[in-house]
Homo-oligomer: A and B are copies of this chain.
Amino acid sequence: MGNRWKAVSAEHEGEATVDLETKIQKPKTRIPPAPSPQPLVPSPRAPAPLLVVGTVAFDSIRTPHGEAENILGGAASYFAVAASWFAPVRIVAVVGEDFGEAELGVFQERAIDTAGLVRAAGKTFHWSGEYLGDMNEARTLETQLNVFEQFSPRLPGSYLDSDFVFLANIDPVLQLHVLRQIPKARLAGLDSMNYWIKGKPEELKKALAEVDLLVINETEARMLSGVSNLKKAAELIRGMGPRTLVIKRGEHGAMLFSQGGIFSAPAFPLDQVHDPTGAGDSFAGGFMGHLAKAGELSDAQFRRAVIYGSVMASYAVEEFGLARLLRLTPEEIEIRYREFKKLMHFDA
């Protein structure tokens, strides 16, 4: 298989962007599964399998600290790599012919199950964007859906026993389509964005009604609820279905709204943010990963999950793309977790 992936990858080098409107009609082929996944952070009980569906992409990114062309990205990639430090991860996504051995090797290195990674004729989803000034917001320069345009995720049989499911930011119709294939999941989480909140509000509400957890950012929470006060927004959103809500606030941290009340965590203070891409997806990966590992859906574990999510987001932004997340160690994760404890500690 090695040569095939290499050849495709080489073919892609130096190619110009393709027309967003091009429809890819060629048949899809399923990528052979990776070796049996191994949880890499030891745990007293076996971590539950965690499924993620979302985009796998090539990103071209410019920040004040540098730039990178066509690096592996996409919400499902960041989520999967971050979560792989906690639990066995199964990925559902579509890639194109330009998705080579090197990219597949990234998932295999992290023992991520790729049985649900479908290869379609055409090119992989491509996003290019830049961050200016304090890098709080990405400016999208171009989005090429490519093979993603015809994506209709069908789960391999080996995925159907997934206890934990995360529906990363894609069309809510697809999210619901995946969710209904695993109705017995113990915890189903969902991410979304402005584009779907505005464009498919009814479909999104249907999906929200069937999930346990929503992870979105501050602006999206305000837009989805129609109110600017976050506490009120959280009440309204929890009334739409998800009993647990995480509001991501970028450099200002994250808030958890659940039956255990409100929990508020800061972002980890860093000397430099190199590339904010994927921070939110890495957060979600650490969050769900910890829960799958803990196997317990208590308020205490949800709070810990917020910190593990924040740990993974803080590492993700230290370097471009997935680089930092890939060369983490379990010790580094625990060290930063304890640093969060110190950062937030005061005596009662």
B263 and A269: CB pair below 8 A?
no
A134-B228, A231-B270, A252-B249 in contact; A343/B263 too (CB < 8 A)?
yes
Q: Which residues on B sit within 8 Å (CB–CB) of A269?
A: 230-231, 255, 262, 264
Complex partner residue of A303 from B229, B263, B266, B347, CB under 8 angstroms: B347
Roughly how many angstroms separate A269 CA and B263 CA in the complex, as a whole number?
Answer: 10
Inter-chain contact B343/A271, CB cutoff 8 Å: no
Are B252 and A304 in contact (CB-based, < 8 A)? no
A interface: dominant SS? mixed
Structural contact, A342 and B261, CB atoms closer than 8 A: yes
Complex CA distance for A261 and B346, rounded to whole angstroms: 12
Give the distance in Å from the alpha carbon of A338 to the alpha carbon of B232 in the complex: 22
Beta-carbon contact of A253 and B229 below 8 Å:
no
A16 sits at the interface (CB 8 A): no
Residue of B232, B261, B266, B273 near A253 (CB, 8 A) is: B266
- The answer on a CB contact under 8 Å between B303 and A343 is no
B252 near A346 (CB under 8 angstroms)? no
Instruction: Answer yes or no: A344 CB below 8 A from chain B CBs.
Output: yes
Is A246 located at the chain interface by the 8 A CB criterion? no
Which B residues are in CB contact (< 8 Å) with A228?
133-134
Interface bits A303-340 vs B (CB < 8 Å: 1, else 0): 11011000000000000000000000000000000100
* B residues in contact with A134, CB < 8 Å: 228
Quote the shortest CB–CB distance from A11 to chain B (angstroms): 41
Chain B's nearest CB lies how many Å from the CB of A111?
28
Report the bound CA distance from A270 to B234 in whole Å: 12
> How many copies of this chain does the complex contain?
2
Is A300's CB within 8 Å of the partner chain B?
yes
**Nearest residue in B to A273 (C-beta to C-beta)?**
B229
Whether a CB of chain B sits under 8 angstroms from the CB of A348 is yes
A272 at the interface (CB under 8 A from B): yes
User: In the complex where A228-B133, A228-B134, A252-B252 touch, is A343 in contact with B272 (Cβ < 8 A)?
Assistant: no
Interchain CB contact under 8 A, A345 and B303: yes
Does any Cβ of B come within 8 Å of A184's Cβ?
no
Q: Contact between B348 and A341 (Cβ–Cβ < 8 Å)?
A: yes
A237 to B129, CA, bound (A): 33
Complexed CA–CA distance, A341 and B253 (Å)? 17
A264 close to B261 (CB less than 8 A): no
In the complex the two chains form, is A264's CB within 8 Å of B343's CB? yes
A215 and B348 alpha carbons, distance in the complex (Å): 23
Judging by beta carbons under 8 Å apart, are B262 and A264 in contact?
no
Most chain B CB atoms below 10 A, which of A134, A253, A264: A264
Please state if B347 and A304 are interface contacts (CB–CB under 8 Å).
Answer: yes
Does A263 contact B231, Cβ atoms closer than 8 Å? Answer: no
State whether A346 touches B264 (Cβ < 8 A).
no
* A231 contact from B231, B232, B262, B271, Cβ within 8 A: B271
- Contact sample, A vs B, 8 pairs, CB 8 Å cutoff: A232-B271, A255-B266, A261-B343, A264-B269, A265-B266, A266-B266, A341-B346, A341-B348
Closest 7 CB pairs of A and B: A264-B266, A303-B346, A252-B252, A231-B269, A134-B228, A341-B348, A344-B344
Taking A255-B266, A261-B343, A264-B266 as given, write out 8 further A-B residue pairs in contact, using a Cβ cutoff of 8 Å, ordered by the A residue number. A252-B252, A253-B264, A255-B269, A264-B343, A265-B266, A265-B344, A306-B346, A338-B348
